[in-house]
Structure 1
Amino acid sequence: MDNIQREDIESIARQTSLSQETLTRALKERVYPDANSWRKFLTLLFLVLGIGFSLAGIIFFFAYNWADLHKFVKIGIIELLVIALTALTFLPKINTQSRQIILTGSAVLVGVLFAVFGQIYQTGANAYDFFLGWTIFVTLWVCFSNFAPMWLLYMILLNTTLILYCQQVTGWPSLLMYGILYLGNGAVFVLAKMRQAPAYFIHTVGLAALTFATIGMISGIISFEKEYFSVFAPLVILTYLVGLWHGVQTKSTFYLSAVPFSLIIIISTFLLEMSNDEWMLLLIGIFIIISVTLVVRNLIQLAKKQSS
């Protein structure tokens, strides 16, 4: 019973004869944050803001004083900061969540270190090398910290590395690249869902998978790479059907909003590819207005049912 939400308490109150006093006490005990909860929230908020502004300050410091600093000073400052932040995580008085936030800041500084090193020595490497090195050198921290924001940073690095690698090295067809990104992010989405990761992480990765699926479908419709599109399109359609079915079963606004909006974009692209005369543009405009209205209407009705 530790996962009781406000909606559960209000539903029980409507179906029973709970007094207003009992309802208020239950909300205070189970839902409303107390002084200790606010203290923890503000501590984490100020810690995140402090580390974030410090990282921004470090980056702007190097940008402004770049010409006046010796190369060893530049690298040495970053290395000392990485070591200092990492060493802070071993202090016994720091709680687990604070350690994870500090380690995330240290992982960002690793990227700054690679950027400074590459700028000093003008390595001439492709951009994907920078993100690949950054990804490799924070992998252990990501695995051992098991912290959702750090995993989110890791996913951004992986996606960026793969995109730049495909563009700068392999020359793969765009649809193949989007297919790999779609499947990779989709697999992480399923794993995160199974492991009951935080909702914001699940939704962010899910949106990334939907974005790559949408862009891939648009690319396939426009270029019509038959070899890949004949596999990519059915896979995306099947996934969307499963997503809509799951959204209806669980009454999840995420699935029932993200998937339909993606379908609207894909269908509009298909119609535009068929013809781009004024009548088709008018038809597409009417289709977008009607479909978006229906989606929003269904979401409002779902929200009303959940609150009733």
Structure 2
Amino acid sequence: MPLVSSTPLLRTARAEGYAVTAFNVHTLEMLQAVVEAATELNAPVILQTTMGTVQHLGADYVVAAAKVAADQTHVPVALHLDHCTDFAMVVRCIRAGYTSIMIDASMKPYADNVRETLRVVEMAAAIGINVEAELGKVGGVEDDIAVADHDATLADPEECVRFVSETGVPTLAPAIGTAHGIYKGDPNIDFERIGRIASMVDVPLVLHGGSGIPEDQVKRAISLGMAKMNVATELRIVFTDAIKKVFADNPKVDDPRHYLKPAKDALREAAKEKIRMCGAANRIKRG
């Protein structure tokens, strides 16, 4: 099937109490592995690329690969631009065929965040593309965007209501204590805040920083209203560690197929684990 907007996927997930897993991919093998995992588990899935990945591969190449993967599966696949701070790249990715965009102006004053988000929402609404925006600041490092722990701020529930009303954004990523990257200690998720925000806004909520969150905390966050969980760092580590093992066992390997296949296989299994954790398995029936 063709690539789809993530808006209906996330609305269904929120209504039915599970989350669609969104995976950041950087290579063809990573993209294939994620879609294969979703296909095996009959789960909707979101492919994500950072600004850096778009710059590295090119938006047209990413879209072409994602379209082929979507055409070869029965599950819905969306393609999302994650944490984009550059309006020109937003336009470029929409024109290339992305079906979901995150405009991230969360580091700017509230009024600027509203203005920049509204600009993208108005452009995307005409062609049915999902838009995601962030309120508050998620700590950690995502691609080239770094937020120190002391600069991270949690989203205010009342401000979330205003923000959704003023922008019409169909998907909201409120900062609730998660962080990008792997946690140094236990995650400090504000579950009460998730519940308050979810009870006050009717749009699907996004859990950023999904790598390394214990399963019980993921499920609790989803039960409170999170409808999308982003996973990036864990995938990179699994993929890279599998390649390292190949070279550790056989340093003379010089055929990329011989070290990329084990990496792809390992990533597929990791993706399946996250999909199951989010309760998204077997949500799609084979036609």
Asked if TM exceeds 0.5, the reply is no
What band does the TM-score fall into relative to the shorter chain?
under 0.3
Q: Normalising to structure 2: TM-score of the pair?
A: 0.27
TM-score normalised to the size of structure 1?
A: 0.26
Higher alpha-carbon Rg: 1
Task: Give the strand-richer structure, 1 or 2.
Answer: 2
The structure showing larger relative contact order (alpha-carbon pairs under 8 Å, at least 6 residues apart) is 2
